[in-house]
Amino acid sequence: MAVTKKHTAFRKAQPGSYHLSVRRPDRRLWSVTTLQFYKKNSIFFFAADLSEVSDLTSTKDLLKVRKIGPLHIVSRSTPAGPALRLIAIRGSHVKDVQNQHDHRNIDIKKVGIKGIRYPINVLDRANQTQATVATINMYVHLPHKFKGTHMSRFVEVLNAYCGELSLKTFFEMLEAIRSGLDARSANLEIAFPYFVQKTAPVTGIASLMEYQCEYIGRVNDDDRRLTVSVTVPVCTLCPCSKEISSHGAHNQRGVVTVRILYQEFFWIEEIIAVVEQSASSDVYALLKRQDEKYVTEQAYHRPMFVEDVVREVTDKLRTDTRFAWFSVEAENFESIHNHSAYAYTEFSRP
């Protein structure tokens, strides 16, 4: 069962999940524990698993509780304070194999969990939030002396943050991984489908288009880095085919992936717009006949090699000073071949 502790006073706290840091007898700031927290009269109770704190014997070890999310509440545990106190600690003492020493003297650059699927809410320009389903990887650096990392803590952090994913909470989540796993650096990769409403060019009929996105971030003592990746399906029509043929030109669907090193805020929708203007034509979920005519003719008048798409996107993005580094990658599923045409380039602002 979950272990229940009584808490005397924590007035501004709200029911929900808490991130509990415990200072161990050896003074290291150590654990992450997800708590179910509830209020009864003016007393706050919470359930925590402190069994991993294998040598924790007294409540004086409790240092602070921070609520995960925008409402940060920090308090210290003192007998006097309107604070959080652990009164009764129960749990089975289960040996911590991961904290044993390793003697091979090999650091592990990334260790953690890969491919966990979770529903998340992401920030959306039109609607504020959008519910979607993400595939997530979460890693930390593991110094050579430790045998292993505590895989479950990653999921506890994910549990706490999945309700709201924005560029701001993404960094908070990375820090929560770092401190929760007591690590020097943390990596977080969240890939998710993102839907934007598009209207057909002539009839104006609306439908939703899917764009695969990914936030890839890393935080360590010295810096933090986030790359935002957006994948946009497009239609490209071959200039060579158009030039040399008496009628028509082969065209196909392609995908363009832009990866931007995040420095200043931008909307995913802005990147989508740049890419869609840089191909022979957009791709749509719903087109009526007049739209199909429009789109076919537009593509015919804007023939582009996969090299042109990559150059066109690069040309547009490099004028935007918010972007210090980005890469553009395009893959066309050639209609006359059984393989793809591919192009890739990078830009780095001097």
* Of residues 248-307, those binding a second copy (CB under 8 A): 248-253, 281, 283-290, 292-293, 295-297, 299-301, 305-307
Provide the 10 A C-beta neighbour count for residue 311: 17
Q: Within 10 Å of residue 87's Cβ, how many Cβ atoms? A: 11
Binding of residue 101 to a second copy (CB under 8 A): no
Find tokens 């071949």 and name the residue: 337
SS3 222: coil
Give 75 or 198: the residue with its C-beta nearer to a second copy: 198
330 DSSP assignment:
E
Site for a second copy in 164-183 (CB under 8 A): none
Please report whether residue 49 would count as binding a second copy according to CB under 8 A. Answer: yes
Q: Is residue 97 within the footprint of a second copy (CB under 8 A)?
A: yes
Q: State which of residues 44, 214, 308, 326 lies at the interface with a second copy (CB under 8 A).
A: 308
Sheet order of strands, 34-40 included:
3-7, 43-48, 34-40, 16-22, 62-67
Annotate 199-211 with b (16+ C-beta within 10 A) or e (fewer).
Answer: ebbeeeeeeebeb
Contact, 216 vs 226, CB < 8 A? yes
- Residue 55 within binding range of a second copy, rule CB under 8 A: no
Q: Is the Cβ–Cβ distance between 291 and 285 less than 8 Å? A: no
Q: Could you give the CA distance from residue 277 to residue 256 in angstroms, rounded to a whole number?
A: 12
CB of 244 to a second copy, least distance (A): 4
Query: How many CB atoms neighbour CB 347 within 10 A?
Result: 16
Q: How far is the CB of 79 from a second copy (least distance, A)?
A: 28
Interface with a second copy, residue 342, by CB under 8 A:
yes
Torsion over CA of 5, 6, 7 and 12, rounded to 10 degrees?
80
Q: How far is the CB of 258 from a second copy (least distance, A)?
A: 14
Question: Residue 108 interacts with a second copy (CB under 8 A)?
Answer: yes
Residues in the chain: 350
Interaction with a second copy in 198-257: which residues (CB under 8 A)?
202-210, 233, 235, 237-253
Q: For residues 17 and 37, what is the distance between their CA atoms, to the nearest angstrom? A: 6
> How do beta strands 34-40 and 128-142 pair?
unpaired
Question: Is position 110 an interface residue for a second copy (rule: CB under 8 A)?
Answer: yes
Q: How far is the CB of 80 from a second copy (least distance, A)?
A: 31
Q: Does 28 bind a second copy (CB under 8 A)?
A: no
Of positions 78, 133, 277, 322, contacts a second copy by CB under 8 A: 133
Q: How far is the CB of 265 from a second copy (least distance, A)?
A: 24
From the list 60-68, 129-137, 172-180, 259-267, the region that binds a second copy by CB under 8 A is 129-137
Tokens of 308: 């042109």
Please state, in angstroms and as integers, the Cα–Cα distance from residue 116 to each residue in 7, 134, 161, 174, following that order: 34, 8, 14, 16
Q: Whose CA is closest to 285, among 210, 181, 174, 185?
A: 210
Q: CB nearer to a second copy: give 33 or 75.
A: 33
In this chain, which of 164, 182, 320, 334 binds a second copy, going by CB under 8 A? Answer: 334
350 touches a second copy by CB under 8 A: no
Is residue 326 at the binding interface for a second copy, with CB under 8 A as the rule?
no
Residue 253, CB half-sphere, CA atoms under 13 Å: how many? 7
For position 104 contacting a second copy by CB under 8 A, the verdict is yes
Min CB(188)–a second copy separation in Å:
13
> Are 187 and 112 spatial neighbours (Cβ–Cβ below 8 Å)?
yes
| Residue from 78, 152, 277, 348 binding a second copy (CB under 8 A) | 152
CB of 62 to a second copy, least distance (A): 19
Nearer to a second copy, 75 or 251 (CB): 251
> Can residue 80 be called a binding residue for a second copy (CB under 8 A)?
no
90 is a site residue for a second copy (CB under 8 A):
no
Position 111 contacts a second copy (CB under 8 A): yes
